[in-house]
Amino acid sequence: MSENKLQVMRPFGPSIGKSIIPDDIVKKLNDYVDKVVSNEEKSKQLDHGAKLAGNVKQEIILEKNIIESSGWGEFLKKAVESWMKYERKKQITKFDLIQSWIVRQFKNEYNPIHWHGGHISGAGYLKVPETFGKTYQENKSTNFNGTLQLIHGSRAFLSNSKLTITPKVGEMYFFPHYLMHTVSPFVGTDQERRSISFNCFIDEDIFNVFGTE
């Protein structure tokens, strides 16, 4: 899948958008985070973890200047535009980025089931460990260590209730704000799992389907 080309999946009720973050944006964001982490005062100033759901080492709120200068904000806007044009057959005229933040997760840390505010949210990946570790039982058919799970409704005939995503650097997933999701802990490495998330508002008449149809 080429950069900026949106793929749409429908594993359950709401569709999920998927796009690829350009390499230069990944690099700029990682360089920015590394710089923040190396500055103890700045690192504490931007640590947003107390206001977010994750039980992780650090969650860094992104400053407006890096969102703009890295191209991150524009990338999100174009991806959301493509998704809404596909799903709602309408062109959004509003893209109001509420906030975007980095999640620095290390072994044994996790993000519990939660949802976001705004209209549209998403999660993507800037760094991924070489391994998420083995399961304790060697005969396990599936290893959920370090994975993102998107959850909707209950499992039923011809209907899944979750989508399990194994993180890959550069992959970005878009979903409606209300969609429940969780990140499992991982083991076997001291390397960082670094993800990026956001919340935004779009046009109310596009989001509010009950008021327009």
> pLDDT band at residue 99, thresholds of 50, 70 and 90?
very high
**Would you place residue 4 in the very low, low, confident or very high pLDDT band (cuts 50, 70, 90)?**
low
Helix (H) / strand (E) containing 77: helix 72-88
Given a cut of 80, is residue 137 above it in pLDDT? yes
Predicted confidence (pLDDT) per residue in 158-195, tens digit: 788 999 999 999 999 999 999 999 999 999 999 999 99
Does residue 118 register a pLDDT over 90? yes
**Domains within the chain, CATH numbers bracketed:** 7-203 (2.60.120.620)
Element housing 180 (H / E):
strand 180-183
Report the predicted TM-score, pTM, of the whole model to 2 decimal places.
0.93
For residue 50, the model assigns a pLDDT of 81
In which band, very low, low, confident or very high, does the pLDDT at 59 lie, cut at 50, 70 and 90?
Answer: very high
Contacts (Cβ under 8 Å, ≥6 apart) of 107: 133, 185, 186, 187, 188, 189, 190
CB distance 141 to 112 below 8 Å: no
- Which pLDDT score, from 0 to 100, does residue 162 have? 94
For the cut 60, the answer to whether the pLDDT of residue 2 exceeds it is: no
Arithmetic mean of pLDDT over the chain: 93
- Yes or no: say if 176 and 134 are a contact pair by the CB < 8 Å rule: no
The greatest distance separating any two alpha carbons of the chain, rounded to the nearest whole angstrom, comes to 53
- What is the pLDDT at residue 53? 80
In this prediction, residue 3 carries a pLDDT of 53
Residue with the bigger pLDDT between 53 and 1: it is 53
